[in-house]
């Protein structure tokens, strides 16, 4: 099993390299978010400009795995194009943008100016902090807390740790505790958004933009929470954050369908057709697979750790099959099919999405490294 698995994963990574090469040769310096009819270039709405780091991020993954200098050259170029966004106050996504690009670049070189970009991005993101409610607000407004921010708050922890800034650390920890208390439910499921009274900080309730409803369990949001809290545990070593990630993982494992690829919302009525009913979101599966591989190394309980690892690999086995891999469709430009961006706005539904591509590559790279070390 493990040698067939290893060769399937390696083949999927090779295909991913081909598709990224094809994209940047066809559309140089272009940062797509989602495909339309399997093609990256179109005039569709961005909703918000948050995925720029995933293209360069894949290039860094390819370089770090193979040592190929062409990928490094491309990775540096596509990272540098994002440098100005260290000051971007319009999005809550600076972790997505810089932790996948400037962090691997800095870790490879130790160049102080690269680290300065990361620290500045962390400080910029921290300016979204709402002291009354104790959270970093989303791009939609001061009243809004998104579960996705759990994947971005690690850049504030990073900046706090590197500069020994206790206030920055407190901001990041407070955001995580508010998210845990307001968006993560006792059963481990999550809401996409929480709304607050801006003046008093009073919590008004759970709601959503991209999920089925305020009380549903949007699959990608749950994946962001699982992986985000695991990343925060890795940075802080505080067991309170590991507990949240494991609670999310418990829900994930208990509700995953037989074929191991999540539907877009765990509360969707599967008797209804897509997009509101039985629509898969492969990108949520890719994010969770990568997060579960890390969580398996963090969990104290050996049985739970084994379940996380086995589930992550089973999910990847499903995603490398022809149903999900773009190689099975002639002229398809994406790597991973059947992702979803925004159902209500009908953006990127049943298409390839940039974060699906990135986390698929990241999870496969981690899994291959692990399998190679065992063989």
Binding site for ligand GLY (CB under 6 A): 50, 148, 210, 220
CA distance 34 to 47: 11
Between residues 122 and 211, which has the closer beta carbon with respect to ligand GLY? 211
What is the smallest separation between the CB atom of 51 and ligand GLY, expressed in angstroms?
Answer: 8
C-beta of 72 vs 211, nearer to ligand GLY: 211
Give me the helices (H) in 81-203, please: 94-99, 102-109, 112-126, 154-163, 166-183
Q: Is 203 helix (H, G, I), strand (E, B) or coil?
A: strand
Nearer to ligand GLY, 46 or 329 (CB): 46
* 205 token code pair: 């309730």
Smallest gap from residue 95 Cβ to ligand GLY (A)? 11
Q: Which is nearer to ligand GLY, 105 or 146 (CB)?
A: 146
Query: SS3 of 140, please?
Result: coil
Residue 331 φ/ψ region, left for φ over 0, alpha for ψ in the -120 to 50 degree band, beta for the rest = left
Q: Which residue is nearest to ligand GLY (CB)?
A: 148
Q: Which is nearer to ligand GLY, 74 or 192 (CB)?
A: 192
**Helix (H, G, I), strand (E, B), or coil: what is residue 174?**
helix
Tell me which residue of 265, 287, 260 sits closest to 276, measured CA to CA.
265
Peptide bond into 275 cis (omega under 30): yes
Tokens for 368, please give them. 């291959």
196 or 264: CB nearest ligand GLY: 264
Cα–Cα dist 345/351, whole Å:
14
Least distance in angstroms from the C-beta of 262 to ligand GLY? 13
> Smallest distance, Å, CB 220 to ligand GLY?
5
| CA atoms of 206 and 39, how far apart (whole Å) | 35
CB 35 within 8 A of CB 19: no
Give least dist CB 194 to ligand GLY, A.
Answer: 15
Question: Distance (Å, rounded) from C-alpha 370 to C-alpha 277?
Answer: 36
| Alpha-carbon Rg for the chain in angstroms | 19
Give the DSSP H/E element, type plus range, for residue 340: strand 339-342
Shortest reach from residue 11's CB to ligand GLY, in Å = 28
Tell me the two tokens of residue 243: 């507990």
Output 148 or 357, the one with its CB closest to ligand GLY: 148
Question: Closest CB to ligand GLY among 220 and 337?
Answer: 220
Q: Are 326 and 333 in contact (CB under 8 A)?
A: yes
Q: CB of 284: closest distance to ligand GLY in angstroms?
A: 9
How far apart are CB 50 and ligand GLY at their closest, in Å? 5
């Amino acid at each position: 099993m493990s040698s067939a698995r290893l060769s399937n994963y390696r083949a999927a990574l090779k295909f991913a390299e081909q598709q990224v090469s094809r994209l940047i040769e066809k559309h140089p310096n272009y940062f797509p978010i989602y495909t339309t009819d399997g093609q990256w270039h179109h005039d569709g709405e961005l909703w918000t400009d948050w995925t720029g780091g995933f293209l360069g991020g894949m290039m860094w993954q390819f370089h770090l795995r193979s040592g190929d200098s062409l990928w490094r050259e491309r990775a540096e170029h596509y990272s540098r194009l994002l440098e100005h966004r260290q000051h971007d106050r319009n999005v809550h996504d600076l972790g997505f943008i810089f932790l996948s690009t400037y962090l691997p670049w800095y870790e490879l070189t130790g160049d102080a100016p690269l680290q300065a970009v990361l620290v500045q991005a962390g400080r910029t993101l921290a300016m979204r902090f709402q002291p009354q409610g104790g959270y970093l607000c989303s791009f939609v407004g001061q009243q809004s807390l998104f579960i996705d921010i759990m994947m971005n708050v690690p850049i504030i922890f990073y900046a706090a740790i590197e500069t020994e800034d206790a206030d920055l650390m407190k901001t990041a920890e407070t955001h995580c505790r508010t998210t845990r208390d307001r968006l993560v439910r006792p059963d481990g499921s999550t809401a996409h958004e929480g709304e607050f009274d801006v003046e008093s900080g009073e919590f008004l309730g759970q709601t959503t933009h991209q999920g089925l409803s305020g009380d549903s369990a949007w699959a990608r949001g749950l994946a962001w929470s699982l992986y985000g809290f695991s990343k925060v545990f890795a940075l802080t070593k505080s067991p309170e954050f590991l507990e949240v990630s494991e609670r999310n993982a418990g829900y994930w494992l208990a509700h995953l369908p037989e074929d191991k690829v999540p539907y877009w919302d765990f509360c969707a009525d599967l008797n209804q057709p897509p997009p509101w009913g039985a629509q898969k979101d492969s990108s949520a599966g890719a994010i969770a697979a990568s997060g579960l591989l890390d969580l398996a190394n963090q969990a104290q309980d050996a049985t739970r750790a084994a379940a996380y690892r086995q589930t992550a690999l089973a999910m990847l086995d499903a995603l490398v099959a022809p149903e999900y891999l773009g190689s099975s469709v002639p002229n398809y430009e994406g790597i991973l099919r059947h992702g979803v961006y925004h159902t209500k706005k009908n953006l990127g539904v049943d298409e390839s999405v940039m974060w699906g591509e990135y986390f698929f590559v990241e999870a496969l790279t981690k899994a291959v490294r692990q399998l190679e070390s065992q063989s």
